[in-house]
Structure 1
């Protein structure tokens, strides 16, 4: 079933008249095919061709940014951001699409149970995600969410933050219109609409699928926005506060979609579009900076806003490796090479060296910092594992050589990480002082995953990793912690 994407253009209506006589939201947009009419970029992902389109549509003092992907010539994903310079006086219809299928059903989760019913004319509100199914069509709709832009690339959910979708029956099917409530100045309303060209986007009859997708409604602590993945700002971040989110380079939301990519087309398409979005945010240096400031990094090391966080970057680079395995692509390999090049230079310039030549790599960096940060054990372990895997994927022996040096640092200092109660220190400073208390089980999982990789790759295990795992596991068992990897 061919999906006709259309954004409707309406003549401007005086605000006073609109408020008095017009009951539907004020509509803005562009002519048909304004987004997909021009293909800006094309690349291969596995056996499919991905076409990427972008456009910016001025709307008076506001602007509608659109980014679209056509996958395999059939599926389409649209992400939009309606950005205001000044407050709007009423709700607005910012984007519309027409679907040539009159048999649509709509599914949503109310927090306890799923609802599934035939679509009807009216407003679909009070939910963040709706899923459509037709004869030869399925779709995911992430409704518009309104955010106020804050400093350091952060954003804050508005008091009246949730938009809605209006459904209207047409001669050939249905028109869906994405709407926003009134917005303040310097705000954005972001949405996502993904269509699969048959009814198999998500197989809702499979065991566990409804429960799994109840977690991916773009609600709660992890939310996808036009320029990436956002999570609540910690108390030490600048800015922070009620409903303040920062762009988190780790992009944890993508991981689940990648794991499902082989069996769920909606998940596969979303992961490709989201990865592409994050790659476009990669810095000229090759990393993904945390745009927020941090009070403790500033006070301890003079590290300001826009800092490099090795753990967040390692997490996302690991997603690129997984994507390269699922559907190989030049854009994933190129992004990985750029990041690995950055990391090698960073390690060369800022490592601390142990007696036998092992390297500890600091957790954070900023070009204006006054001193070099500590190294936490969990960061070091995650980076070692990533470098070994990247070395295999990119056929780059220099990455495994760096991983060897970093593992040597852990091997040399093994017992030094153990606290009297069996728990582990969290970090080691540049001058070799250990301190702070480790996470309950995160570092154990990092030890477990690295040890498993070494066993699979080299048919051997590392005795120091075993020692640290034994101490950590005994401490976890004694303290009733059971969520660790087994």
Structure 2
């Protein structure tokens, strides 16, 4: 994980533990969609189109146009029947203080939609539109957005309603994309205050991008390549986490499946997800090149597969979670620190690379806890005793160090280093949430609380309260 965790990650961590869950009705109704992909080599561009057809008639589609020479834009349309006065477009806008809010326009009043992702809604037709995007592929699963080249969606009045007109620029060296989820049924039950707020903060267009091949996040300055408008394909999809753990809408259910399928395609044959960019600080500190293994991002991605396995009853998602667990077991066997105690414990380094399988980096407490939590949940899902045994050993690695994790001010150290020292500033509340989840799983499996975890939770919570840290 990058040194500075984003506000969005913290927000979605909080959302993930909220009280909304997909209803039993949604789970019982789910049937595997039909997925198709078509590639056309045009005179001057490569056109890729992906579709998911759901059993209730809902369609997810995505277009990707890779320009090879300058041409007129690729144009396609969506007709919508009805009275345009009753058709709305709901999108996220910002006030003067840059606080997000919902804004709604009617389609009889506009000739183009705002250049934003949003929801076209009328009786019998509900479409979640992505934001048109044009970018350059910078390599290492990194793109650089070119905002000035994207064309807004046109709204043309017709005798039977309106026609949405999409134009994807075709320019040499540039890629254009557009996606949508199109349904006969409402996608989000607007009016439920908490869901309205959650959706207002789900970002697939600004600091993060949902693209044809996956979820991209704004590139940190310590990654290469990078720029102010660069985004890299991150293994863990924070919006997907909200969809799977928060749910509460048809859009979350349907897009959750689509996003899981994209993540599945990015999983390496060995079972992990690469961080493709080069991290300058990992390269400097540990000699780790691009294409490395980040345990937190990977464990997050695998946890989503495990959740999808249960939620969609999809064999491929189940196998993906198992495959990652197997990879992680092998990684830990070669890379761990032994922590002495009544029961010997193991700490697992945060990063790895196929170029140097035996390399040992620091161990972040939040990484270690997330890995323990995944192994416990994997054990509860599939019953493999090896997962529980490894999780127990890793938990001993944490508890054997006990109060050494605690700073004088009550906060926790971020990491344990190969030389046996502790250091770096911990996140405001991410580690607290991880500790609480570890305690919950431990209690479920052992019938009681783990006392050292209780000590760490209490210390971190007291520090958070003294410093007015908002948490959930």
Same fold per TM (> 0.5)? yes
The Cα shift of 1:233 comes to 1.2
Q: Secondary structure at the match of 1:160?
A: helix
User: Between Structure 1 and Structure 2, which shows a larger proportion of helix residues?
Assistant: 2
**2:15 aligned partner:** none
1:357 to 327, 344, 356: 344
* Residue 311, structure 1, aligned to residue 293, structure 2: no
Q: CA distance change for structure 1 residues 314 and 484 in 2, over 3 Å: closer, same or farther?
A: same
**1:272 aligned partner:** 257
Of residues 170-179 and 150-159 in structure 1, the stretch that sits farther from structure 2 once superposed is 170-179
Partners of 2:119 and 2:365 lie apart in 1 by 42
Q: CA distance change for structure 1 residues 283 and 101 in 2, over 3 Å: closer, same or farther?
A: farther
**1:289 aligned partner:** 274
- Number of aligned pairs? 436
The Cα shift of 1:259 comes to 3.7
Q: Which runs of 5+ in 1 are unaligned?
A: 1-43
| Alignment deviations for residues 42-85 of structure 1 (CA, whole Å, 9 cap, x no partner) | xx996313111011122223112111111125111012211123
Q: CA distance change for structure 1 residues 164 and 45 in 2, over 3 Å: closer, same or farther?
A: farther
* Residue 401, structure 1, aligned to residue 386, structure 2: no
Partners of 1:469 and 1:49 lie apart in 2 by 41
Q: CA distance change for structure 1 residues 106 and 236 in 2, over 3 Å: closer, same or farther?
A: same
**2:74 aligned partner:** 93
Per the normalisation by structure 2, the TM-score is 0.86
Q: Secondary structure at the match of 1:220?
A: coil
Per the normalisation by structure 1, the TM-score is 0.83
| Alignment deviations for residues 291-341 of structure 1 (CA, whole Å, 9 cap, x no partner) | 110011111211111111111111122222222333221121011111111
| Alignment deviations for residues 428-458 of structure 1 (CA, whole Å, 9 cap, x no partner) | 2234232222222221221122112222343
Partners of 1:405 and 1:208 lie apart in 2 by 39
The Cα shift of 1:174 comes to 4.1
**1:255 aligned partner:** 241
**1:108 aligned partner:** 90
1:154 to 142, 156, 169: 142
Aligned pairs (5 A) from 1:33-432: 47-86=30-69, 88=70, 92-99=73-80, 105-109=87-91, 110-112=93-95, 113-120=101-108, 123-169=111-157, 173-181=161-169, 183=171, 185-198=172-185, 200-216=186-202, 218-261=204-247, 263-355=248-340, 356-369=343-356, 371-432=359-420
Partners of 2:326 and 2:444 lie apart in 1 by 26
Of residues 302-311 and 170-179 in structure 1, the stretch that sits farther from structure 2 once superposed is 170-179
The Cα shift of 1:290 comes to 0.8
| Alignment deviations for residues 360-416 of structure 1 (CA, whole Å, 9 cap, x no partner) | 111111111383211111100111011100111122221111101100111111122
Q: Secondary structure at the match of 1:270?
A: helix
Partners of 1:205 and 1:474 lie apart in 2 by 36
CA contact (8 A) 1:65 1:80 kept: yes
The Cα shift of 1:286 comes to 1.0
CA contact (8 A) 1:69 1:76 kept: yes
The Cα shift of 1:100 comes to 5.1
Displaced runs of 4 or more, over 6 A: none
Q: Secondary structure at the match of 2:403?
A: helix
Q: Which runs of 5+ in 2 are unaligned?
A: 1-26, 96-100
CA contact (8 A) 2:292 2:353 kept: yes
Partners of 1:177 and 1:393 lie apart in 2 by 46
CA contact (8 A) 1:223 1:229 kept: yes
